[in-house]
Amino acid sequence: MRAIRTDAGGGHDAGGPRLVRDAPAPSPRPGEALVRVRLAALTALDVSAACGRLGFTGVLGHRFVGVVEDVSALAEGQRAGLARRRVAAWPGVACGHCDLCKGGLSGHCRVRTVPGIAGRDGGFAELVCVPAAALCVIPDNVDDAAALLAVPLAIAVHAGSLVPRRAEGFITVLGDNELAVLTALVLSRVNQRVRLLGACREALELADRWGVKSRPIDQAGRRADQDAVVECSATPVGLSEAARFVRPRGTIVLAPELGLSPRGEERGGGHGAAGGGTVDLSRIAAAELAVVGARGGSVAEGVRLLAERTVDPTGLITRRVRLDEALTELKAAEKNNRGEWLAPVAVEII
């Protein structure tokens, strides 16, 4: 089968991503379904994996939509609900056996794997094996491209749930990535005082089209009057920026996708700020700020929002390429180094 693989250590000149046309088809282990991939998303996190910053070896692609082709390795009660169904997958796969999994914290599994990112092959391939517990059936009124956004939507909902509920609260979302604009979209549906601040014109323009208030971060005042800030890069620069906006005893929610920053600190943080790998903790302590991490969500919740048209992220994915062309896209994204903003590209597998 065709697949795009990379080797740890990365870079395109050091075992980086390459198209393999004769990769062996995967065989599902107990509890896994074999999925024939229809569409995958190429995002900033995939670029980081391809470049070697995450130390990943295997088939790339952490978000994908496909049709379940083989359910023979599933328990009898799971087969009928998944056979031949179109599905999306939650990327984090827990072991189910470590102390955290047994203690009800499977989202923080000590040996978690993530397709295309850590310890498990991903969806830039014709076939991929996925644990049944991570799969969600996609209703007919949600197309493949929209379903690719179910995971970041789910993360956005989870991050929003950690923002304290105040009727008149002011909330700022910081970031130039897709998670930032989706988080601002989700929060703006329940609080019209939400705004998106960033340095990337494309992200701000997209928020404007969705009816979300937005502004270049260098034009925003620093009055420290926000009840909460959701920061979507989880870099030291991002945390320092967030602390400048929050009122005393306010809340900062750190919400990178899957708990991972696609940039890496060697690239100097986010939001258009150069350098700066440290955080001024004195401001956080003096203002008695609460700093909360956000990693997780439910792909089923993301699919539900899409199916019910609760949010409409139309316009986030504007380009499609074939699998054979995805390698060129990966190389261009790494070479251009456009900071955090990389609108997801839909990669057609079949």
Q: How far apart (Å, rounded) are the C-alpha atoms in residues 58 and 6?
A: 6
Same domain? For 41 and 142 the reply is yes
What's residue 263's pLDDT? 56
Q: Does any domain span residue 132?
A: yes
Hey, what are 9's tokens? 């250590």
Q: Does any domain span residue 303?
A: no
Q: How far apart (Å, rounded) are the C-alpha atoms in residues 263 and 340?
A: 7
Q: Which residue has the tokens 């493949």?
A: 144
Q: Does any domain span residue 337?
A: yes
**Residue type for position 178:** E
Q: Does any domain span residue 302?
A: no
Span of 154-158, 217-221, 228-232, 335-339 with lowest mean pLDDT:
335-339
Read off φ and ψ for residue 317, nearest 5 degrees: -100, 115
Q: Do residues 217 and 158 lie in contact, with contact meaning Cβ atoms separated by under 8 Å?
A: no
The full DSSP string for 43-98 is -HHHHHHHHTTT---EE--S-EEEEEEE-TTS-HHHHHHHTT-EEEE-S-B--S-S
Q: Does any domain span residue 301?
A: no
Q: Does any domain span residue 312?
A: no
pLDDT tens digits, 120-148: 999 999 999 999 999 999 999 999 999 99
Q: Do residues 346 and 145 lie in contact, with contact meaning Cβ atoms separated by under 8 Å?
A: yes
Task: State the pTM of this model.
Answer: 0.90
Q: Chain-wide mean pLDDT for the chain?
A: 88
| Cα angle 54, 60, 66; round to 5 | 140
CATH code, domain with 263: 3.40.50.720
Q: 273 falls in which pLDDT band (50, 70, 90)?
A: very low
Asked whether the predicted pLDDT for residue 11 surpasses 60, the reply is no
Same domain? For 177 and 138 the reply is no
Same domain? For 19 and 119 the reply is yes
Same domain? For 128 and 173 the reply is no
Residue 172: domain span: 152-293
Hey, what are 315's tokens? 């316009």
Same domain? For 246 and 196 the reply is yes
Same domain? For 138 and 164 the reply is no
Hey, what are 321's tokens? 């390429």
Same domain? For 58 and 134 the reply is yes
CATH code, domain with 131: 3.90.180.10
| Beta-carbon count within 10 A of 285 CB | 9
Q: Greater confidence, 339 or 67?
A: 67
Q: How many domains does the chain have?
A: 2
Same domain? For 106 and 165 the reply is no
Sign for the CA dihedral angle at 276, 51, 114, 139 comes to positive
For the chain, the farthest-separated pair of C-alpha atoms sits apart, in whole angstroms, at 59
Q: Does any domain span residue 298?
A: no
| Cα angle 16, 335, 58; round to 5 | 20
Same domain? For 46 and 164 the reply is no
Same domain? For 8 and 126 the reply is yes
**Residue type for position 37:** V
Same domain? For 191 and 141 the reply is no
pLDDT tens digits, 204-230: 999 999 999 999 998 888 789 999 999
Q: Does any domain span residue 85?
A: yes
Same domain? For 138 and 224 the reply is no
Q: How far apart (Å, rounded) are the C-alpha atoms in residues 274 and 15?
A: 30
